Copies of this chain bind each other. A is one copy, B any other.
Amino acid sequence: MPRCWFVFLFLSFILLLATAEASQCSIRGIPLVRNISELPQDDYGRGGLSHITVAGSVSHGMKEIEVWLQTFSPGSRTPIHRHSCEEVFVVLKGSGTLYLASSSHEKYPGKPQEHFIFPNSTFHIPVNDAHQVWNTNENEDLQVLVIISRPPVKVFIYEDWSVPHTAAKLKFPYYWDEQCLQAPVKDEL
């Protein structure tokens, strides 16, 4: 009965896929001590980015802090964005520019201030200030450790610095949380 075998194989294949998907989005069975170089790494559709969630809400069950290791190739950058959580950067390698508009009380971000960031430097982003981190060094990758509070992160993205705060677009779940996190109904935000 070749047809029966085909159905069996097909169902087994579906089951296998479902299991694989579930385990990727489950925090069960992850080891306590993890090798960062063995953790999933992806650009999540953003050219020039390498993102690793070192300790995360969706991936490791963190409730109050989340840690990322990100590498930006020369010229690559975050979107212009804001969030209502705290965020700390530690620059491990390379250099670049932090653009920061301390304007949460104005109508739109406006021209940002430029800050040079360099190896072994640290900075934090004031809550709700629009900002962008840019690898403006043509010769070297920029590697940062990023720490945020209140994960998973809810990000408002600006097309440019003159977009009104009220028109910034919510991106939630954020790129690396999309696979395992469903968008909640609006009330939950």
Residues of A within 8 A of B (CB): 32-37, 54-55, 60, 62-65, 67, 85-86, 88, 90, 98, 100, 115-118, 120-124, 145, 147-150
Contact = CB atoms under 8 A, between A and B. Distances in A.
Contact of A65 (B34, B55, B63, B149): B149
A86 B60 contact: no
Contacts of A32: 98, 100, 115, 123
Of A33, A36, A55, A62, the most chain B CB neighbours within 10 A belong to A33
Contacts of A37: 120
A145 B33 contact: no
A117 B147 contact: no
A149 B150 CA distance: 10
A121 B36 contact: yes
Contact of A122 (B34, B64, B120): B34
Task: Tell me if A's interface is mostly helix, strand, loop or mixed.
Answer: strand
A142 to B, nearest CB: 14
A65 B36 contact: no
Given A88-B54, A145-B90, A122 B33 contact: yes
B34 A121 contact: yes
A86 B64 contact: yes
Contact of A55 (B98, B116, B122): B122
B117 A33 contact: yes
A60 B149 CA distance: 16
A88 B65 contact: yes
* Most chain B beta-carbon neighbours within 10 Å: one of A98, A100, A116, A120: A120
A109 to B, nearest CB: 16
Contacts of A145: 90, 145
